[in-house]
Amino acid sequence: MGTLVPFPVQPAAQAATPAPVLRVGGLRKTYERREVLCGVDWEVPAGRVIGLLGRNGAGKTTLLRCLLGLVPIDAGAIELFGATMAEPGGERLHRVGFVPQNFELFPWMKVSSYLDFTAAFYARWNHALAGRLLQEWELDPKQKIGRLSQGQRQKLAIMRAIAPEPDLLVLDEPVASLDPQARRAFMAELLALMGGPGKTVIFSTHITADLERADADIALLRDGRIQFTRPLAELKARLCHAVLNRPAGWSTPPALAGAIKSRIAGTSLHLLLEDVPPERLHQLAKDEDASLRIEMPTLEDLFVELA
Amino acid sequence: MRAIVQLWLLPCRQMPLLGVLAHLLWLAALACLAWIRPHADGAALGAGLVAMGSWFWHMGLGAALRGACQPENFLLPGFRRRLAGLGLADAAVWVGVPAALALALGVPHAMLGASLLLLAAAMGFAMGVERWISLLFWPLLVLAGWMPGLVGAIVHDALGSPLTLPLLLLTAVLLLRLALHPMLQITDRPPDASPLEGLSLGRSTAADTATRRSALGRRFEGWFDAIAQRALALALMRYREEPSAARRRALVRRLLLPHDNAAALVLRIAIMAVFAALYVVVAMHRQHFNATVVGAYAVLMALARFPQIGRGMQRMRPNLADLYLTLAPTTRTQYQQMLASALLVLVPIGTLTALAYTALGIVLTRADQPGLMLLVTLIVATGGGLVALGVHLVGPQGTVGRQLVNAAVLAGTMATYWGGAWLVDALGYLFGGGLLALITLGFGLGVWFASQREYLQREPCFDAPLA
């Protein structure tokens, strides 16, 4: 049995927060009468790495594609770099790098032809970076894209996205097909490249360790809405997982201010708590005649509990 | 058994009309055999019907099973055994039942007829799996055309020879071996071509299924590929030198239509010339060629390119997301305009192709009115190309709708060609040609501009098609 109360809304961003690179208001998207996004409101400040989390089918891919104008929206407004996305807006798209979930590039082209073709349209293209990555990631420029493995295509898509040194990088599960070495190399490259001032990354992934490594802000998409966007460090500092155990078991979880989610499993009561002092928990354990264990949740634990 | 039924249903699902017609022919053949007296006459008619039905059915079955024989499907439990089961059941239906009925009714040469039915089935199946196998029958056609007396004598002697039956069975087994060997082999899948391209000479088909190419086909593909890579490199160089809108459009064309450049066009026409010359040799026994038919066929072949645009643009949607971000258009309309303009090059290419094929036909058939044929081809292929491109760009998304539209376009173009040839012949080059150009090009341009307007109003779509 489990109950989930609404996640507390955080106070408005502080005055020092930089202007958002992306602003979404009331975004709705329906596929054949199934509402995937039900009024998404979201602001992404410049210069941050945002990890977009959500369960399968939560609408992460749809949201990311809507942001770039790759999917028509039913309602709402999207602002990218301060201007509405009603139209693509020309060179603005060149400030965005996008790695899609499925790498539908051009299988009949050779790797080098594809990169040359793409580079020809960009005013800013880091040829040195592209050349270095080709070598380091062991991609044969003479190979046809259709002959590349899924992981190699993913590397090529990543290379294509970061070579123009975009101000906003949108990555839709970019490391799903990469081996651990390639994933680490990619993350290192990403953090080095996007560490510059004003560079923003929106990163949808299920590999939470990568988000922890990037010290990302976490945005949770659930029930067609962004439930919260908060720095990972803050989440970890303020949330904790308490397990209360007693032989008689639990019929209902006790009322406790700050409890976000409660779950009864056998004789144990699992509580996800925010800003609850340990003294209060010890008092509760004493009152309920239960033993108490307090754990620091990992991001994966938080995802399992909250998503 | 259920697996065998599912395999049998494959061609019926992919080609329902073929499934219905073939089995109706089978029923009709059995009815002829049972009810027409004397039975020998009924058997002759029935054998013709069942052979025709069997040939068509097994071509469809071969094509469907070729698609089903993917490496992943070989992992299904007992897949090969079930394929063999389907083969046995199919042989029982198309050969066993008619042969048993003929034997029961005391029809003469029943076993010979059964082996011919087996040969027809094997021939159809082999052609469905490997298209090049149809080339094996060309020498027979040449022989039949050049020496009909000799062929008649061979058939007469074969009827009385005890070796005919085993030879027919051996030929059927050989054909099945030729078809089954590559079908059941797990090979590397070639990289996908551009969905807007088909490398067959008529370029009407192909890109929907993973094609298996013969050594010759692979060589042609290699040539086209090398030409495409060079054309792209050249377009890139020119664009870097001077990034104008026209050169930008040319670059996009090289990406979307890698095999629609001057060198590839020349190569395609050269290959076609070789095959057309071969065909003329094969069909030499026909004393008279109708040159207008050859011209109409040339236009038809040039127009066969356009249905690929509708199919290809649909299949290419996910790939185009990358192009959209690369082009970074100011408005969505601008992006749609870029695609429409890039594809418009197919109209002059289609016209040039039709003219080249017509010229080839004129030479091979020694046509009486080459000027008339070239003029009519020029006008009709251009008008037809504009209409075909327009309707396939904005036309129905479903296969049936698209086929209907294509049939209507082809029928209309053919009617225009014949009407145009008559008009120019009757009124002369100036008045007849002028009138034909006015009507045909006026209609073609009208359809193209209307379709283009509709296409520009549409939102770009980057979602993969459902099927």
**Extended beta strands in chain A, E state:** 2-4, 20-31, 34-45, 49-53, 75-80, 83-84, 96-99, 168-172, 200-204, 217-222, 225-231, 239-245, 259-265, 268-274, 291-295
Tally of domains in chain B: 2
More confident residue, A43 or B218: A43
pTM score, whole prediction: 0.78
Partner A, chain B 222-241, Cβ-Cβ below 8 Å: 228-229, 232-233, 236, 239-240
- DSSP label at A283? H
**Closest-CA distance of chain B to residue A89, Å:** 4
- A267 and A297 part of one domain: yes
3-state SS, residue B244: coil
- A279 and A247 part of one domain: yes
Q: Which residue has the tokens 């070789």?
A: B274
Report the CATH number that the domain containing residue A62 is assigned in CATH. Answer: 3.40.50.300
Strands A75-80 and A83-84: antiparallel
Q: Is residue B325 part of a domain?
A: yes
Give yes or no for a cis peptide into B38 (omega within 30° of 0): yes
More confident residue, B380 or A190: B380
Is the Cβ of B327 closer than 8 Å to some Cβ of chain A? Answer: yes
What is the CB neighbour count within 10 angstroms for residue A199?
19
Instruction: Among B150, B183, B216, identify where a domain stops.
Output: B183
Q: Are A292 and A300 in contact (CB under 8 A)?
A: no
B463/A71 Cβ within 8 A: yes
- DSSP label at A11? P
- Interatomic CA distance for residues A240 and A253, integer angstroms: 17
Which residue in A90, A107, A117 is closest to B232 by CB distance? A117
Instruction: Among A176, A195, A223, identify where a domain stops.
Output: A223
Nearest chain B alpha carbon to A119 = B326
Distances A162 to A97, A176, A200, B267, B318 between C-alpha atoms, Å:
6, 17, 12, 39, 20
The answer, yes or no, to whether residue A11 has pLDDT greater than 80, is no
- B154 and B300 part of one domain: no
Residue B130: per-residue pLDDT: 82
Q: Is residue B329 part of a domain?
A: yes
Nearest chain B alpha carbon to A106 = B319
**Among candidates A240, A274, A270, which has minimal Cα distance to A254?**
A270
Phi, psi of B73 (to 5 degrees): -70, -25
B330/A90 Cβ within 8 A: yes
Q: What is the pLDDT of residues B129-144, one digit of tens each?
A: 887 787 777 777 777 7
- A103 and A206 part of one domain: yes
- A101 and A141 part of one domain: yes
Domain that holds residue A243: 238-306
Enter the tokens of residue B17: 């009309």
Q: Is residue A201 part of a domain?
A: yes
Q: What is the pLDDT of residues B405-446, one digit of tens each?
A: 999 999 999 999 999 999 999 999 999 999 999 999 999 999
Q: Is residue B342 part of a domain?
A: yes
Q: Which of A103, A106, A122, A170 to mutate to test the interface with B (most CBs of B within 10 A)?
A: A106
- Interatomic CA distance for residues B389 and B340, integer angstroms: 9
- A178 and A74 part of one domain: yes
- Interatomic CA distance for residues B423 and B376, integer angstroms: 10
Confidence of residue A205 (pLDDT cuts 50, 70, 90): confident
Instruction: Among B183, B212, B228, identify where a domain stops.
Output: B183
Instruction: Among B154, B183, B212, identify where a domain stops.
Output: B183
What is the CB neighbour count within 10 angstroms for residue B297?
17
Q: What is the pLDDT of residues B5-21, one digit of tens each?
A: 888 888 888 888 888 99
**Dihedral sign, Cα of residue B5, residue B8, residue B11, residue B17:** negative
Q: Which of A105, A112, A113 to mutate to test the interface with B (most CBs of B within 10 A)?
A: A113
Amino acid at residue number B132 = W
Q: Is residue A81 part of a domain?
A: yes
Domain that holds residue B303: 275-457
Phi, psi of A52 (to 5 degrees): -95, 115
Instruction: Among A194, A223, A252, identify where a domain stops.
Output: A223
- A152 and A277 part of one domain: no
- A184 and A44 part of one domain: yes
- Kindly list the residues from chain A whose CB atom is less than 8 angstroms away from the CB atom of residue B324: 70, 88, 93
- Interatomic CA distance for residues B410 and B416, integer angstroms: 10
3-state SS, residue B449: helix
Tally of domains in chain A: 2
A107/B191 Cβ within 8 A: yes
A93/B328 Cβ within 8 A: yes
Can you give the C-alpha Rg of chain B in angstroms? 25
Q: Are A248 and A277 in contact (CB under 8 A)?
A: no
Residue A3: per-residue pLDDT: 44
- A134 and A175 part of one domain: yes
Q: What is the pLDDT of residues A210-235, one digit of tens each?
A: 888 888 899 999 999 999 898 988 88
The answer, yes or no, to whether residue B207 has pLDDT greater than 60, is no
3-state SS, residue B174: helix
- Interatomic CA distance for residues A202 and A182, integer angstroms: 19
A120/B240 Cβ within 8 A: yes
- Interatomic CA distance for residues B224 and B271, integer angstroms: 12
Confidence of residue B202 (pLDDT cuts 50, 70, 90): very low
Q: What is the pLDDT of residues A101-157, one digit of tens each?
A: 877 788 889 999 999 999 999 999 999 999 999 999 899 999 999 889 888 888 899
Q: Is residue B115 part of a domain?
A: yes
